A and B are shown apart, each in its own frame.
Chain A
Amino acid sequence: MKLASIKGPVILDIPADPPAMFIVRALVGEISSRIGFEDEETDKLVLAVDEACTNVIRHAYKNSSDKRIVITFTLGMDCFEIMIRDFGSGADPSTFKGRDLEQVRPGGLGIHFIKSAVDKIEYDTPPGGGMVLKMIKFMPLQERAQN
Chain B
Amino acid sequence: MKIQIDERKPGVFVVSLGGDLDMSSSPQVRNILLPIFRKKASHIVVDLTDVPYIDSSGIATFVEALQLSRKDKVRFSLAGACRRVESIFDLAYLKNIFEMAPDANQLVEGEQGR
Binding site for B on A (CB under 8 A): 18-19, 21-22, 25, 40, 43-44, 46-47, 50-51, 54, 57-58, 101-102, 104-107, 109-110, 112-113, 116
Cα distance A40–B90 in the bound complex, in angstroms: 12
Cα distance A19–B53 in the bound complex, in angstroms: 14
Residues of B contacting A110 in the complex (Cβ-Cβ under 8 angstroms): 56
A107 touching B20 in the complex, CB below 8 Å, given contacts A44-B91, A101-B93: no
Cα distance A44–B87 in the bound complex, in angstroms: 9
Contact with A along B42-53 (1 / 0, CB 8 A): 000000000001
Enumerate the 7 nearest inter-chain pairs by beta-carbon distance, A residue then B residue, closest first. A106-B60, A18-B24, A109-B56, A18-B23, A101-B93, A106-B63, A19-B24
Binding site for A on B (CB under 8 A): 20, 22-24, 53, 55-57, 59-61, 63-64, 66-67, 84, 87-88, 91-94, 97
Q: Are A43 and B84 in contact (CB under 8 A)?
A: yes
Residues of A contacting B56 in the complex (Cβ-Cβ under 8 angstroms): 51, 54, 107, 109-110, 113
Residues of A contacting B91 in the complex (Cβ-Cβ under 8 angstroms): 44, 47, 112-113, 116
Cα distance A107–B92 in the bound complex, in angstroms: 11
Residues of B contacting A46 in the complex (Cβ-Cβ under 8 angstroms): 53
A104 touching B23 in the complex, CB below 8 Å, given contacts A43-B87, A109-B56, A109-B92: no
Residues of A contacting B22 in the complex (Cβ-Cβ under 8 angstroms): 18, 21-22, 50, 54
Residues of A contacting B: mostly: helix
Q: Are B60 and A21 in contact (CB under 8 A)?
A: no
Q: Are B55 and A47 in contact (CB under 8 A)?
A: yes
Residues of B contacting A18 in the complex (Cβ-Cβ under 8 angstroms): 22-24
* Nearest CB in chain A to that of B30: its residue: A106
Q: Are B63 and A50 in contact (CB under 8 A)?
A: no
Q: Are B23 and A57 in contact (CB under 8 A)?
A: yes
Residues of A contacting B59 in the complex (Cβ-Cβ under 8 angstroms): 106, 109
A54 touching B55 in the complex, CB below 8 Å, given contacts A21-B22, A22-B20, A107-B60: yes
Cα distance A81–B23 in the bound complex, in angstroms: 24
Q: Are B64 and A106 in contact (CB under 8 A)?
A: yes
Cα distance A112–B53 in the bound complex, in angstroms: 17
Residues of A contacting B84 in the complex (Cβ-Cβ under 8 angstroms): 43
